[in-house]
């Protein structure tokens, strides 16, 4: 594909996808609303590349979406724009319904109208790739089970429920209208440019500054961790070689308890930048009241993606986490404005 529209391309996973595609010579139309988690600084390395065009806009703006699809002769859409933080969804579920459900519906409407206007090879090659999460499957027992593409949906939070709804709409647009879609569901991502409210970057920066490290409950909840650059490569593969109408799970085969993740980060930082008093950063861990509906365990079976499309993760958790910690140590310019409160998506957006 020569030209791809990426929604949410200034977010964490979205910006990784955009940087990867631009580096491969693909023309990217990067659409992002620039909400609190959308950051143009994450695109600094490609801002002057001729095959990258940033468009500030909302996926719910059907006329704008259609105009860009037609103007750029887009051959594929990678839909990553979403509200994604579980705690925020518990406090304010309305935004999640508007963005993840209504927004996806409107984007599908624009994609369908555009696709129906295509002819010949352009019509047969077009794809709509919807990127989702393993949280739509609910949770697993601590000691057994794994999510496959056939696992029934059982979302636990407003966030996962909104993503489950959007998955269903995408499948319905394929079954009812024939829109050529592919879907993917991923495990927890981590890596550079991760917004500091999430577990790994929050822990890195708090630990670096000698601040308290909050851990829900006893830290026993288990997640499967996927390095974001490995995910970006998988997503491009699904878009370009995945079978229409099929879904692919993307996981790192790196299950860790939340406590183990936090402790590993503490140990890496203690080795690289010891605290002035020489104490272990593990002493900063503070167990806090668990959140409502906290899923016990996620585990992704990526066998279908590996066997059918030939994807393999390049990073294991140890190498990926070491790279991630190193990146945050070396890139204070990116995260310090966010931590200090001086970051503003509105302000950065004026440069779009």
State the CB neighbour count (10 A cutoff) for residue 293: 16
As given in the structure block, the two tokens for residue 70 are: 């037609």
At 342 the pLDDT is: 60
Mean pLDDT of 147-170: 97
Is residue 200 scored above 50 in pLDDT?
A: yes
Q: From CA 280, how far away is CA 266, in angstroms rounded?
A: 7
pTM over 0.85: yes
Considering 20, 159, 193, 328, which one is annotated as catalytic?
159
Mean pLDDT of 311-322: 97
Q: What is the pLDDT of residues 335-351, one digit of tens each?
A: 999 988 765 433 322 22
Q: From CA 186, how far away is CA 226, in angstroms rounded?
A: 8
Q: From CA 233, how far away is CA 253, in angstroms rounded?
A: 16
**Closest by alpha carbon to 86, among 274, 327, 258?**
258
Identify whether 286 is a catalytic site residue: no
Mean pLDDT of 175-191: 98
Identify whether 134 is a catalytic site residue: yes
At 314 the pLDDT is: 96
At 118 the pLDDT is: 98
Q: Where are the extended beta strands (E) located within the chain?
A: 3-7, 27-32, 52-56, 76-79, 127-133, 181-186, 188-190, 213-216, 222-227, 247-250, 255-257, 285-288
Q: From CA 231, how far away is CA 42, in angstroms rounded?
A: 17
Q: What is the pLDDT of residues 262-289, one digit of tens each?
A: 999 999 999 999 999 999 999 999 999 9
At 84 the pLDDT is: 85
Looking at the domain that runs over 3-194+225-251+296-316, which CATH code has it been given? 3.40.50.720
Considering 135, 139, 224, 255, which one is annotated as catalytic?
135
At 319 the pLDDT is: 97
At 344 the pLDDT is: 44
Identify whether 159 is a catalytic site residue: yes
At 70 the pLDDT is: 98
Considering 134, 167, 224, 295, which one is annotated as catalytic?
134
Give the chain's mean pLDDT.
94
Q: What is the pLDDT of residues 60-112, one digit of tens each?
A: 999 999 999 999 999 999 999 999 888 899 999 999 999 999 999 999 999 99
């Amino acid at each position: 594909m020569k030209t791809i529209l990426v929604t949410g391309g200034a977010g964490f996973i979205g910006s990784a996808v955009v940087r990867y595609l631009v580096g491969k010579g693909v023309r990217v139309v990067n659409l992002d609303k620039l909400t609190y988690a959308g950051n143009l600084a994450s695109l600094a390395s490609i801002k002057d590349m001729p095959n990258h065009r940033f468009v500030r806009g909302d996926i719910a703006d059907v006329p704008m979406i259609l105009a860009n699809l037609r103007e750029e002769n887009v051959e594929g859409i990678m839909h990553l724009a979403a509200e994604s933080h579980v705690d925020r969804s518990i406090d304010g579920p309305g935004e999640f319904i508007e963005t993840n459900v209504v927004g996806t519906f409107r984007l599908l409407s624009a994609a369908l109208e555009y696709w129906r206007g295509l002819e010949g090879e352009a019509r047969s090659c077009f794809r709509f790739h919807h990127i989702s999460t393993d949280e739509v499957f609910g949770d697993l027992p601590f000691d057994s089970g794994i999510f496959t593409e056939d696992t029934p949906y059982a979302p636990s939070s407003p966030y996962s429920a909104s993503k489950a709804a959007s998955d269903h709409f995408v499948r319905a647009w394929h079954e009812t209208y024939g829109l050529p879609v592919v879907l993917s569901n991923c495990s927890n991502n981590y890596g550079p440019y991760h917004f500091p409210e999430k577990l790994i970057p929050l822990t890195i920066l708090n630990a670096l500054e000698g601040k308290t490290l909050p851990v829900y409950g006893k830290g026993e909840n288990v997640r499967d961790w996927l390095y974001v650059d490995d995910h970006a490569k998988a997503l491009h593969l699904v878009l370009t070689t995945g079978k229409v109408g099929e879904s692919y799970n993307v996981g790192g085969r790196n299950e860790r308890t939340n406590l183990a993740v936090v402790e590993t980060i503490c140990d890496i930082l203690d080795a690289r930048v010891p605290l002035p008093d020489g104490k272990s950063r593990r002493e900063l861990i503070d167990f806090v009241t668990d959140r409502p509906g906290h899923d016990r365990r996620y585990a992704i079976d990526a066998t279908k993606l590996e066997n059918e499309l030939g994807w393999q993760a390049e990073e294991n958790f140890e190498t990926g986490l070491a790279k991630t910690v190193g990146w945050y140590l070396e890139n204070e310019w990116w995260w310090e404005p966010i931590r200090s409160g001086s970051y503003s998506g509105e302000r950065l957006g004026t440069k779009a």
